[in-house]
């Protein structure tokens, strides 16, 4: 795993961008890191209701390899690791803005169910249709 930066072949830019955001939690991780600037592992974990530690590290590692997030390890005990967006991660988030707006519109139209993170945090499994 962690096959260095993803490497197409891509057919268009959307293709390349989607490759980097596709993953069950990546959109949310981006959002969390964008709103809080910097987050520790356990904070992210609490912010993404239902994520497992494995998936979280896996996604974070991939995003790091893709140059989207920065990982800063403090040589302390107990361990401390801080995650934040890189410049590219930040611009990606901005590029996702219109898409997010479209999605919100769609949710409004469809009357899809929306989950409030704060509300479900710590309320275990949390099934997501996919």
Partner DNA sequence: TGCGGTACTTACCTTTTTGTAAGGGGCGAT
Partner DNA sequence: ATCGCCCCTTACAAAAAGGTAAGTACCGCA
Q: Give the binding site for DNA (CB under 7 A).
A: 22-24, 40-42, 50-55, 57-58, 60-61, 71, 73, 77-81, 125, 128, 130
Q: How far is the CB of 59 from DNA (least distance, A)?
A: 7
Sheet hosting strand 80-85, strand order edge to edge: 38-40, 80-85, 69-74
Give the integer Cα–Cα distance in Å for 91 and 10: 20
Q: Which is nearer to DNA, 60 or 68 (CB)?
A: 60
Beta strands 80-85 and 38-40 are: antiparallel
Strand partners, 55: none
Q: Which is nearer to a second copy, 20 or 60 (CB)?
A: 20
Strand partners, 18: none
Selection from a second copy, DNA, none that 21 binds (CB < 5 to 8 A by kind) is a second copy
Q: Which is nearer to DNA, 19 or 34 (CB)?
A: 19
Q: Give the binding site for a second copy (CB under 8 A).
A: 3, 5-22, 27-28, 30-31, 88, 91-92, 94-107, 110, 112-115, 117, 128-130
Selection from a second copy, DNA, none that 36 binds (CB < 5 to 8 A by kind) is none
Strand partners, 38: 84
Could you count the other beta carbons within 10 Å of the beta carbon of residue 49? 20
């Amino acid at each position: 795993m962690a096959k260095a930066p993803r490497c197409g072949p891509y057919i268009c830019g959307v293709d390349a961008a989607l490759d980097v955001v596709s993953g069950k939690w990546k959109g949310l991780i981006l959002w969390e890191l964008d709103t809080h600037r910097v987050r520790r592992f356990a904070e992210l974990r609490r912010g993404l209701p239902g994520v497992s530690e494995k998936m979280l590290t896996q996604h974070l590692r991939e995003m790091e390899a893709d140059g989207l997030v920065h990982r800063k390890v403090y040589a302390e005990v107990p361990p401390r690791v801080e995650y934040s967006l890189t410049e590219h991660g930040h611009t990606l988030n901005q590029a996702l803005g219109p898409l997010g707006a479209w999605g919100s519109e769609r949710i409004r139209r469809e009357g899809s169910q929306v989950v409030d993170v704060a509300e479900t945090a710590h309320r275990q499994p949390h099934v997501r249709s996919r």
